[in-house]
């Protein structure tokens, strides 16, 4: 019985990671390339800025998800990127989706992924 619960728990975690990966890859990569700045800052660029500003995953995820939900220049950590690319538009995602994506960004080592969008070996 314990092993059944353990397997369900592991499968749920695996699905959550896959779902977050799909949300990220299906939505964010349209504008934010993982390693290169093209039409918006790269994921590496904004992740680095956020990681320096926030000490914990909870702070990182909270700020990022709230900012993406309602982007404003005055609350941005990336005024230089706004000057270069413009302000990110409101995307209309629900807060839980943004929390999931922000958590995925925090947990994923994009340097290790090498800019490959669909790598399953993205964890540290």
pLDDT of residue 114: 56
Question: What are the C-alpha distances in Å from 88 to residues 4, 37, 72, 97, 122?
Answer: 44, 14, 8, 17, 26
pLDDT for residue 8 is more than 70: no
pLDDT in tens, 68-119: 999 999 999 999 999 999 999 998 999 999 999 999 999 998 887 655 444 4
What's the pLDDT tens digit per position in 15-70? 445 888 888 877 787 888 888 888 899 999 999 999 999 999 999 999 999 999 99
29 within 8 A of 104, measured Cβ to Cβ:
no
Spatial CB neighbours of 51, under 8 Å, sequence gap ≥ 6 = 60, 106
Helix (H, G, I), strand (E, B) or coil at 123: strand
Is 9 a residue whose pLDDT tops 80?
A: no
pLDDT band at 5 (very low <50, low <70, confident <90, very high): very low
Residue 13 has pLDDT above 70, yes or no: no
**Domains assigned to the chain:** 2-113 (1.10.760.10)
What's residue 1's pLDDT? 53
Map residue 65 onto helix, strand or coil.
Answer: helix
At 108, is the secondary structure helix, strand, or coil? strand
Residues 6+ apart with CB under 8 A from 4: none
């Amino acid at each position: 019985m314990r092993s059944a619960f353990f397997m369900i728990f592991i499968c749920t975690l695996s699905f959550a990671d896959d779902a977050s990966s799909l949300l990220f890859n299906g939505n964010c990569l349209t504008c934010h390339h993982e390693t290169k700045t093209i039409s918006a800052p790269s994921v590496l660029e904004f992740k680095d800025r956020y990681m320096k500003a926030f000490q914990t995953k909870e702070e990182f995820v909270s700020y990022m998800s709230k900012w993406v939900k309602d982007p404003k220049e005055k609350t941005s950590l990336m005024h230089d990127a706004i000057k270069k690319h413009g302000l990110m538009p409101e995307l209309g995602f629900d807060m839980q989706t943004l929390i999931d994506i922000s958590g995925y960004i925090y947990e994923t080592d994009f340097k290790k992924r090498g800019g490959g969008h669909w790598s399953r070996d993205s964890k540290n």
